[in-house]
Amino acid sequence: MINDKLPKIWYGGDYNPEQWEAPDWAEDERMFKLAGIDVATINVFSWALIQPSEDTYDFSGLDAMMDRLYKNGTYVCLATATGAHPAWMAHRYPEVTRVDVQGRKRKFGGRHNSNPNSPVYRKYAALLAGKLALRYKDHPALVAWHISNEYGGYDYSEQSAAAFRVWLQERYGTLDALNKAWNTRFWGHTFYDWEEIVVPNELSEEWNGNRTNFQGISLDYRRFMSYSLLECYKIEYEAIKEHSKNIPVTTNLMGFYPELDYFEWAKHMDIISWDNYPSLDTPVSHTAMTHDLMRGLKNGQPFMLMEQTPSQQNWQPYNSLKRPGVMRLWSYQAVARGADTVLFFQLRRSIGACEKYHGAVIEHVGHENTRVFRECAELGRELERLGDQLLDARSEAEIGIIYDWENRWALDLSSGPSVAMDYVNEVHKYYDALYQQNIEADMIGVEENLTKYKIVIAPVLYMIKPGFAQKVEAFVQAGGTFITTYFSGIVNENDLVTVGGYPGELRKVLGIWAEEIDALLPGMSNQIVMNKEWGGLNGTYTCDLLCDLIHSEGAEVLGQYGSDFYKGMPALTVNSFGEGKAYYVATSPEAGFLQGFLANVCAENNIKPLVQAPEGIESVQRVKDGVSYLFLLNHTEADLSAEMGSALRTDLLTGQTVSGSAVVPSRGVLILKGISNSKAADLYSSVGD
């Protein structure tokens, strides 16, 4: 568990008492008890209050609030407040504000405006974190540390340019190595002195976001900025750990946020936490995939749901209310997929500035007689009854889907072949095809141990990092099934093409080579024509976006293109390699094809759906100490039934026993306790013996 002071699913969220007065605090305390709130995240943006000047610190307000919350039965996730620097710092030390991608120097304002390579910012951030840790390390309310807030944004200042050059020297050693990695003979870019290198912004190489003349330098700058912000986090982490070694430290991530390599960040976090803000029309499978990615950052370790809204957001184009029951449903979706906390932003709604219309447990009306509060209080009571049963329960998925931030950067920066390429969407297509069939998958990084899975899927793995192809070969050789797609194996870690035929280093295991890549315009399509019936996959399916024109080098051709000048060329292949198989999907197919294709591959590997259920039912399972917890979530407005086998299970929320089939009410949740598959296999084996 996160902290044994509170052995249950934590319930609460961001609380900003500094925005209110003493009479409001007393009312908050009363309503926290009514709602079952047991954790408050405080001090997120209080740097200016705690440190009113360079040499002055005032912790009296925070002292009092820590004591008040603990006396009221509320534990504290204590933030370091460094997500927004004070005005005096920007005024006295202008270097602490950023320079944007257009080369404009920022003034004080907003947040995330701190230059991560400013020695002044780093000095005062570390000092504050250390002082907080020294002061509150033994406070009975403290259960977790929260560094800064939602790290993000790049800086293009002279300080960052100088630090970038140092980072490059450490990465490449010599200018000759750098020039080779960046292919600087193109367009006369050869560098003869480190000082000649400038940041790739709109004054040099980049324009319109991810458009760049030189992928090498732009890719490295994204690596460098992720590293720079991580260094800021690590400085505070070390300052805290010097005094508070046993309290877990985190910072709130943002799902598929594009700018930071969260797999690298996860190595330095005691526990992952993240902020979940889907829109009303976000596919529920996309939210599920994001939860699974957060769980996958630390090899399946449970995570903290640090923020979600009780009802509506304030910053999306259309800030719809969560319909009745949806807050509870989406909270349990997070728990089902690995969350050991359910925390909100925010506990009391602000009255001013840009977040005053962001939902809260306590609304502007200020009392408990609201729909939102009633729903929050009911969920609080349920989480109290669940106790510690679900804490630290894990996934037993037998499929891993690879996601890699550096691969995403390289794809986004690529000059071609299609502006419609969206890495996250292409990964989601494969995840969704499994989700719709109630088949579990883990989201994993390229450094993950593949041997724990029967199937590994790597959609659009454009970049092949050193050693990965060999790891795939060993996985398949030993009996694993590997699936990858069009536009994979094209470049190395420096975005230089691997010559000799696509898909480069994956060519051997896949048994094919790709001669050309056709980009289809919007509205254009081709077809995958199956050569023979394979399970439920038969006939013709639509495909679009990109079409690799491939040749078999030993792979069996399962399907071919149906039209255009490459009609009859392979579109789907499988290669037997050692004891395993490697599939290549040479284009982007329709959802029906992917569901049938993955159902067949799962059947080959004896991977079965958790349940048989109509569309709208989400199923996911957590396992702990030989006990399985099967979550059934109904995302529709009608009652639906799920078939789950004859084993007897008990619903943790109602105490009722079910077997065979279960009815899940509209927007309802069942948490069905039973024997895990692995435990059942052990019991079966022992009976056989």
Catalytic positions, written as ranges: 150, 307
The two beta strands, 556-561 and 570-577, are antiparallel
Q: Tell me the C-alpha distance between 559 and 455, whole Å.
A: 21
- Cα–Cα distance measured from residue 153 to residue 234, given in angstroms and rounded to the nearest whole number: 17
Nearest Cα neighbor of 133 from 120, 146, 114 is 146
Burial of 138 (0-12, 13-18, 19+ CB in 10 A): exposed
DSSP string, 268-324: T-SS-EEE----TTS-HHHHHHHHHHHHHTTTT--EEEEE--SS--SSSSS-PPPPT
| CB-neighbour burial class of residue 427 (10 A; exposed 0-12, middle 13-18, buried 19+) | buried
Q: CA-CA distance, 410 to 258, in Å (whole number)?
A: 12
Q: Around Cβ 246, how many Cβ atoms within 10 Å?
A: 7
Burial 507-530 (b: 16+ CB within 10 A, else e): bbbbbbbbeebbbbeeeebbbbbb
Q: Which residue has the tokens 């995240």?
A: 41
- With the CA atoms of 616, 622, 627 and 629 taken in that order, what torsion angle do they form, in degrees rounded to the nearest 10? -30
Three-class secondary structure of residue 412 per DSSP: helix
Interatomic CA distance for residues 620 and 644, integer angstroms: 12
Tell me which residue of 588, 337, 339 sits closest to 443, measured CA to CA. 337
What is the rounded distance in angstroms from the CA atom of residue 410 to the CA atom of residue 432?
24
Positive or negative torsion for Cα 509, 512, 514, 519: negative
Grouping H, G, I as helix, E, B as strand and the rest as coil, residue 131 is helix
Q: Under DSSP, is residue 344 helix (H, G, I), strand (E, B) or coil?
A: strand
From the centroid of its chain, how far is CA 640? 30
* Token pair listed for 564: 């255009």
Q: Tell me, what amino acid is at 495?
A: D
Residue reference for tokens 């944004």? 153
SS (H, E, C) 201-254: CCCCCEECCCEECCHHHHHHHHHHHHHHHHHHHHHHHHHHHCCCCCCCEECEEC
Region for 21 from its dihedrals, namely left if φ exceeds 0, alpha if ψ lies in -120 to 50, beta otherwise: beta
Separation in Å, CA 61 to CA 20, 21, 46, 149, 288: 12, 11, 10, 21, 39
Q: Is 615 exposed, middle or buried (0-12, 13-18, 19+ CB in 10 A)?
A: exposed
CA angle in degrees (0–180, nearest 5) for 77-83-85: 130
